[in-house]
Amino acid sequence: MAKATTTIRQVLTYQPQHAAWFVANQALFNRVAAFYFEVIAAHEKLLDRSAQEALTALEQLTHTTRKNPAPIMPLSAIAEAIPAMFRRAAIHAALGSARSFYTHLSTWHTRKEKAQTRGKPFKERPPVPPRTWNKSVPFYVGQWKERTASSILLKVWTGTCWSWIKVRITGRELPAEALIGSPSLMKHGKQWWLHTPIEKPFSSPAKIEQQVTTNTATKICAIDLNLGEQIAVCTIQTVEGTILATKFIGGGRRISGFRKQQLGWIARNRRKTGIIAQGEQDNADLWRKISSHDDALAHLVSARIVQFAVEHGATILVFEHLGNLKPEKGKYSRRGNSKRAFWMKGRIFKYAKYKAWGERIITSRVNPRNTSRECARCHSLIARYHAGQPATGYTPGASLVLCPDCQMQGHADRNASLVIGQRLIARYQNPFQEKPQAPLRAERVVKATGVSRSQVARRKEKPSISQARHGAGNEHGTAQDGLLWMEERPSSIPHPLRLFNE
C-alpha cells in the first residue's frame, strides 16, 4: 500500500476569550521551542543522532524528574508544569529548525572555503539562526481528545493555567478511511483554524517500467519548465507515440517583472544603507514578499499541471533534471531574478510530484541534454528561431522550431516537452539511450564495451552491449530483453551479466 499526505483545514468557532488563550498557548510553545533551540546550539552533536535519541538526550538535559533531579539546563527555568506532549512537540519543532539551520550553515562554510581556496572573493552572508519564533502549535495525542465531526477538546495554556476547552469545527470533514495526524492550531488573519494532516492509504500504482512496457496506451504527461513567459508547457502522449493534448501555462513575464521590481528596491535600499551588517538579513519584508509570491505561483502552476494530467488520464508525469544554475550577467535585479526563476522550477517539480502522488500519478525525471534541440518527430537537430525571422540556426529562447529533415514545424517548448516524454519511454524500451540512473550500471557499460559514455555518441549509436549479448541488434528488444533491462536495482540483474562487473 502507498499513502498520500494532505492537510484538512477547518474553521473553528470558539468563545471570544479563547482567542487570547490560543495566542498565549502559541507564545508559550514558541518560548519553549526557542529554549530548546538554545539547548541544541549548546550541544550541536545532538543533531548527529536520530530524532528519538535526540529527544531523549534533550529531555535528560532539561527535564527534572526524581531520577534526574538536577538537569544541566532546566526547562523549569522558562516555565513550570509543561505537559510532556507539549514539551515534545516543542522539542521536535526546535530540532527541525536546528537541522535546517546547521545544514545551511555547513553548506555556507563549504562554499566559503571553496571560494577562498580558489582565491575568489566571498561576499555571501552566513545564514542566521531564527531570531523570532512563530510556529503553530501541534497537538500531540494527550493534548486533544473527544474529536467528533463538529467539535474537539484541546488542552491549552490560558496564560495562567492549563485548561481543556471545547471548540466547534466547521468545514471539510475528515475522510473516514484516513489515518489522522496531530492537529495544529493555525491563525489566518484574526481567525483560528485547525489543520489536520491525514494520510490516505491507496493501492500503489504500477511502476513506470511496468506501465511503459506492458501497456502501449499508457498516457504520459511531459512538462517543459521555462524561464520565459510560458512557465510550463505540458503535453500528453501515449507510449506508442500518439499526441493527445497540449497545455501552455503562462505568467512568467508577470512574475519576473514583479520580482525584478522588488529586487530593484532591495538593491536601492542596500545602496542607501551602505554596507550590510555581517549576518543581518536586510529588506526582510521585501524578501518575504518575493518568496511568498514565488511559492504561491509554484503551487498554482504545479496544481494546474497535475489537473491537466488527471483530466487526460495520464498516469506518469515526467520533467527534465534541472541541471546547474548558470547565473546571468548584468544588474543585481537581473541576476537575482534568474536565480529565483531557477529555484522556482525546482519548487514546481517538488509540488507537482507531491500533488500527483495523491492522484496515484508517478513522477520521474530525464536527462535534460539537448531536449530543446531535438526534433520530437525524427530526432534530427532542429532550427530554432523567432517568428518573422529565417528558420535557420539555433536561437536560445526563441519560440519556433523547424526540423530540416522532416519539416516538422511548431512551438519550441511544446517540441521540448514531447522529447522529454519520449526520453522516458526510451529509457525502458532501450535503456542505453539515456544516461543510466544508477552509476553502477553506467560503469558496467563502460567496462563491458569500452565505449565512451559520450551522450551524443550513445544516442546516435545502437548499444553494442545489447547486440553482443542478445545476438540480434533488435532496436527495442523483445519483451524478454525489455524485462531484463527494466529492473531498477542493479543487484537483480541476472547472473551472466555479473561477469562484466567482476
Residue whose cell numbers read 508525469: 317
* Minimum separation from the CB atom of position 218 to Zn ion (A): 24
- In the bound state with Zn ion, the residue whose beta carbon lies nearer, of 375 and 398, is 375
- Stretch touching Zn ion by CB under 5 A, among 145-153, 281-289, 378-386, 417-425: 378-386
Q: Does 384 bind Zn ion (CB under 5 A)?
A: no
Q: Does 408 bind Zn ion (CB under 5 A)?
A: yes
Near Zn ion by CB under 5 A, which window of 1-9, 141-149, 374-382, 421-429?
A: 374-382
| CA distances in angstroms from 342 to 298, 321, 324, 337, 410, listed in the order given | 11, 12, 9, 9, 25
- Shortest approach of Zn ion to residue 376 CB, angstroms? 8
Instruction: Give the integer Cα–Cα distance in Å for 452 and 457.
Output: 8
- Contact by Cβ (8 Å): 474, 485: no
Among 91, 156, 375, 484, binds Zn ion (CB under 5 A): 375
- Give the contacts of 159 (CB within 8 A, at least 6 positions apart): 20, 21, 24
Spell out the alpha helix ranges (H) of 251-283. Answer: 252-273
Shorter beta-carbon distance to Zn ion: residue 403 or 416: 403
Cα–Cα distance, 156 to 196 (Å, whole number): 17
For 109-118, which contacts have Cβ atoms below 8 Å and span 24 or more sequence positions? none
Q: Write out the DSSP string of 18-38.
A: HHHHHHHHHHHHHHHHHHHHH
d(CA 398, CA 153): 59
Of 199-207, 333-341, 373-381, 465-473, the window that binds Zn ion (rule: CB under 5 A) is: 373-381
Choice between 18 and 373, CB closer to Zn ion: 373
What does the alpha-carbon distance between residue 453 and residue 175 come to, in Å, rounded to a whole number?
51
Contact stretch for Zn ion (CB under 5 A) within 164-172, 394-402, 403-411, 470-478: 403-411
* Smallest distance from Zn ion to CB 11, Å: 55
208 or 382: whose CB is closer to Zn ion?
A: 382
Q: Give the span between the Cα atoms of 231 and 484, in whole angstroms.
A: 38
Closer CB to Zn ion, residue 11 or residue 406? 406
Give the β-pairing of 400-402 and 409-411: antiparallel
Closest CB to Zn ion among residues 130, 404: 404
Q: Which residues of 23-43 are buried (b: 16+ CB within 10 A; e: fewer)?
A: eebbebbbebbbbbbebbeee
User: Helices then strands (H, E): number in the chain?
Assistant: 13, 16
Contact region with Zn ion (CB under 5 A), list: 1-9, 227-235, 368-376, 425-433: 368-376
Min dist. Cβ of residue 379 to Zn ion (A): 7
Q: Which is nearer to Zn ion, 311 or 405 (CB)?
A: 405
Select from 142, 82, 52 the least CA-distant residue to 62.
Answer: 82
Asked whether position 406 contacts Zn ion by CB under 5 A, the answer is yes
19 binds Zn ion (CB under 5 A): no
- Roughly what angle, to the nearest 10 degrees, separates helices 284-311 and 252-273? 170
Three-class SS state of 471: coil
Residue closer to Zn ion by CB (options 267, 408) is 408
Task: Considering the complex, state which of residue 296 and residue 378 has its C-beta at the smaller distance from Zn ion.
Answer: 378
Q: Which is nearer to Zn ion, 262 or 433 (CB)?
A: 433
Min dist. Cβ of residue 418 to Zn ion (A): 11
Site string for Zn ion, 459-488 (x = CB under 5 A): ------------------------------
C-alpha cell at 390: 529565417
Scanning 114-122, 178-186, 187-195, 405-413 for contacts with Zn ion by CB under 5 A, the matching segment is: 405-413
Cα 14 to chain center, whole Å? 36
Residue 381: CB minimum distance to Zn ion, A: 9
User: Would you say 289 or 369 has its CB closer to Zn ion?
Assistant: 369
Could you tell me how far CA 157 lies from the centroid of its own chain?
A: 35
By CB under 5 A, tell whether 227 contacts Zn ion. Answer: no
Size of the site for Zn ion (CB under 5 A): 8
| Residue 432 near residue 463, CB atoms below 8 Å | yes
Q: What is the DSSP string of 216-256?
A: TT-EEEEEEE-SSS-SEEEEEEETT--EEEEEEE--HHHHH
What CA–CA distance (Å, rounded) separates 391 from 381?
A: 13
User: For Zn ion, which is the closer residue by CB, 408 or 483?
Assistant: 408
Contact window for Zn ion (CB under 5 A) among 96-104, 110-118, 146-154, 396-404: 396-404
Fill in the amino acid letter for 112: K
Output the smallest distance, CB 422 to Zn ion, in A. Answer: 12
CA torsion, ordered 296, 297, 303, 308, to nearest 10 deg: 160
Q: Which of 129-137, 197-205, 399-407, 486-494 is the region at the interface with Zn ion (rule: CB under 5 A)? A: 399-407
**What minimum distance in Å lies between the beta carbon of 226 and Zn ion?**
21
Q: Is 403 in the site for Zn ion (CB under 5 A)?
A: yes
Cell of 455: 551522450
Could you say whether residue 391 binds Zn ion (CB under 5 A)? no
Of 266-274, 338-346, 402-410, 414-422: span binding Zn ion (CB under 5 A):
402-410
Q: Does 377 bind Zn ion (CB under 5 A)?
A: yes
Contacting residues toward Zn ion, per CB under 5 A: 375, 377-378, 380, 403, 405-406, 408
